[in-house]
Amino acid sequence: MKQLITLLFAAFFAYSNAQTTATFENFGLMPGEYLNNSQPSDAFESGHIRLPNTFSGGFWSGWAISATTDTSTPGFQNEYSAITGEGANGSTAYATAYVFGHSTLRLSPEAAGAAVEGLYITNSTYAYLSMLDGDNFAKKFGGEDGHDPDFFLLTIKKYLNGQLGQDSLDFYLADYRFSDNSQDYIVDEWTNLDLSSLGDADSLIFSLTSSDTSIFGMNTPAYFCIDDVTTSDVSSVKNTEELFYNIYPNPTSNYLILEGKNMEGLEYSILDLQGKEVQQGKISSNRIELNNCISGTYVLWFKKTGQWYKFTKM
């Protein structure tokens, strides 16, 4: 218990004094081009954010960087395009998310622990035209008679120090719930979204829900686009070189992945909520196997840095 109490007071402090905007123009894409493979990196990096991407066997998930301009072709063959046909504020490039469960936006060490000020958001052409006209799998919003109260909702939450924040921010990419159908809309412009109300964060979590579902899940194409993500710079961070800026998954089945620098040889302990040490060791890779943990909530504690992360083993 004494150790736990010590941990609870061992939070690190950060403050910000400048902002950086991720515009995705750093990839040098020309109009019509896209990137769906971030390898050898596991994420696309722009400004102070990292957008995870996996690419295998010709198929991708997570995020893509796009400069495609097609606003008229329906279907998944046109999965990278934003309905605006360009990036926010007339720019060329933007990011497109293909969401399964949720998509993550991670903050780089330079911004982790501080607030994300805001970003621009819009629909993908694929989702927009599917909601507008319907397709083989998904309905046109409003349904057969135009009166269905359909919606396509993006929900944003944050992680800070490995813990999921309670607050969330909702943004309707389409909303047909108005009694007056003339007010129904599908977002077709870049919309600036203020995220400062979420507070400090290490990462943001995006999830999509739709009124159009079946036993196979959501019918509406699970895509959306973002651009110009403005983060707050962290000018002074305790033990910057030793800071872990992301630990996942949480909850987890039997392992944790650590992302950061200078991890090698760092001693760690895993404590249960009674403060009892159930596992300890030195970091030899970016992965910790949870061999001694049964299902429950634990704290991963780094004695040298005083950092701690709370996680749940399923």
- Residue 155 CA to residue 22 CA, distance in Å, equals 20
State yes or no: residue 139 binds another protein (CB under 8 A): yes
Three-state SS at 27: helix
Of 105, 111, 79, 98, nearest in space to 24 by CA: 105
Rg (CA), the chain: 21
Of the residues 39, 40, 145, 166, which one makes contact with another protein according to CB under 8 A: 145
- Residue 275 CA to residue 271 CA, distance in Å, equals 5
Q: For tokens 């400090």, what's the residue? A: 200
Q: Which is nearer to another protein, 147 or 261 (CB)?
A: 147
CB of 134 to another protein, least distance (A): 3
Q: Which is nearer to another protein, 9 or 314 (CB)?
A: 314
Q: Which is nearer to another protein, 40 or 101 (CB)?
A: 101
One-letter identity of residue 200:
D
The residues near 28 (Cβ < 8 Å, ≥ 6 apart) are none
x/- letters, 19..58, toward another protein (CB under 8 A): --------------------------------------x-
| Paired strand residues for 113 | none
The residues near 110 (Cβ < 8 Å, ≥ 6 apart) are 20, 48, 233, 234
x/- letters, 100..129, toward another protein (CB under 8 A): xx----------------------------
User: Which residues in the 72-101 window bind another protein by CB under 8 A?
Assistant: 73-78, 98, 100-101
State yes or no: residue 215 binds another protein (CB under 8 A): yes
State yes or no: residue 149 binds another protein (CB under 8 A): no
Site for another protein, rule CB under 8 A: 57, 59, 61, 73-78, 98, 100-101, 132-136, 138-140, 143-145, 147, 212-217, 219
